[in-house]
Amino acid sequence: MATPDVIVIGAGVVGLSAAIAAQGRGLSVVVLDRAGPAAGASAGNAGAFAFTDILPLASPGILRKAPKWLIDPLGPLSVPPAYALRITPWMFRFWRACSPARVAHSTAAQTALMDLSKAELEPFLRETGTFAMLRKDGNLQVYESEAELKASLPGWRAREEHGIEFRHLDAAGMAAIQPGLAPRFTHGTFTPGWYSIADPQDYTIALAEHFHARGGTIERLEVERLQLVGDSITIHDRDGRTRQAARVVLAAGAFSHRIAKSLGERIPLETERGYNTTLPLGAFDLRTQVTFGGHGFVVSRLSTGIRVGGAVELGGLDLPPNFRRSEAMLAKARAFLPGLKPDEGTPWMGFRPSLPDSLPAIGRARASARVVYAFGHGHLGLTQSAGTARLVADLLTDRPPAIDIASFSPQRF
């Protein structure tokens, strides 16, 4: 078997986007994945290109809300007791990242990556034959009081400084955009620049098909470790098989830090376990994505159904799913959207790779410049996939990255 120029580990939306971008630079590429294309978070996310979501999860605002949320085991932010001790070091780094200076730094870095990702998206969709899947329906953030709206204003001012368009609405204004909201929601903010994809799983599979049509190969392989051997990298799987490449891109989502550890790299990646329920298409007349920020979840219109999901459960990779979280969000959605039909839903849980400062790891491994990391996007993997792919292709071909990537250094911790 011929040795490819690049092996990409991970067949999610970030890994496949990077593989296609590398192909576009004339490189031969093989993709390895433990379960195949779109088997993880790329299948079950909310389908949004959330380019306006520039504020990091690690922020003073989340610190104010966290104590109240953590009391509720089914609330927007939870840590299972069985995982609490293990995640303490990560939580300490998260707390440090909430300082105003660090939030300002993270916001600027996130904005740069968002701007790049938005600029790269439509050309990438056209190149891959997936442009018809793009939607521009906006997002409606709803509030239960004027006080809740006022509490959100610093975040909107930060977005305004970065040129993000939005408008605040009263109940009548919200109803004109999205009828059927419960009267408890008195105020809202609409962001028209919020894009989405028809269905994230279908999109990721379409990327896999495009990659294959251009000569790429996707193999099922559960990578255990990397080994530097001369001018190449040997990839070892759990069954003792090996593959070799001149360069490797590590984009294995929530499993990436385990593989990076084999190169002596200790990266504090944790897992936001996301839950959702996908209802049939006729479950509700949804016209835009609706964000219930005070409750930590969204309702999205996909081509395949109505998806109710979100929240953050910091519970690692090994604990069993707690689908009561999906049920709790669905019960709230039924109360918040009185016309919602909650029957025949399909529950799901997936792993979102998260670093303490809410920024991804994009850059070269300390052990070798031939290994490029591209993981840790949290709930923004789909959003930042095209921009990340551009940066990875730049690194693989030794070109100056399209933006300054110092803030995304895998070694920043």
Check residue 198 and give its pLDDT. Answer: 96
Please write the tens of the pLDDT for every residue from 208-236.
Answer: 999 999 999 999 999 999 999 988 999 99
Contact 348, 275 (CB under 8 A): yes
Check residue 312 and give its pLDDT. Answer: 82
Check residue 230 and give its pLDDT. Answer: 86
Indicate the pLDDT class of residue 59, thresholds 50, 70 and 90.
confident
The pair phi, psi for residue 109, each rounded to 5°, is -65, -45
- Name which residue leads in pLDDT, 58 or 54: 54
Please write the tens of the pLDDT for every residue from 159-215.
Answer: 998 889 999 999 999 999 999 999 999 999 999 989 999 999 999 999 999 999 999
Give me 268's structure tokens: 């504090």
- Model confidence pTM above 0.85: yes
Calculate the average pLDDT of the chain.
94
**Residues above pLDDT 90, as percent of the chain:** 84
Q: Position of tokens 């239960």?
A: 144
Residue in 266, 269, 263 with CA at minimum distance from that of residue 226: 263
Indicate the pLDDT class of residue 71, thresholds 50, 70 and 90.
low
- Name which residue leads in pLDDT, 269 or 67: 269
Q: Over range 362-371, report the average pLDDT.
A: 97
The pair phi, psi for residue 377, each rounded to 5°, is -80, 0
Please write the tens of the pLDDT for every residue from 80-118.
Answer: 888 989 999 999 999 999 999 999 999 999 999 999 999
pLDDT of 69 over the 70 cut = no
CATH number of the domain at 1-55+97-135+194-269+355-413, please? 3.50.50.60
Check residue 239 and give its pLDDT. Answer: 87
Check residue 40 and give its pLDDT. Answer: 85
Contact 30, 4 (CB under 8 A): yes
**Residues above pLDDT 70, as percent of the chain:** 98
Task: Residue 218: count other Cβ atoms within 10 Å of its Cβ.
Answer: 21
Task: Residue 184: count other Cβ atoms within 10 Å of its Cβ.
Answer: 12
What are residue 33's DSSP bridge partners? 220
Check residue 323 and give its pLDDT. Answer: 93
Which residue type, as a one-letter code, is found at position 130?
T
Check residue 231 and give its pLDDT. Answer: 87
Check residue 393 and give its pLDDT. Answer: 98
Residue in 7, 19, 57 with CA at minimum distance from that of residue 259: 7
**CB half-sphere exposure, 307, CA atoms < 13 A:** 26
Check residue 72 and give its pLDDT. Answer: 75
- Name which residue leads in pLDDT, 142 or 56: 142
What are residue 232's DSSP bridge partners? 229
264: left (phi over 0), alpha (psi -120 to 50) or beta: left
Q: What is the residue extent of each domain of the chain?
A: 1-55+97-135+194-269+355-413
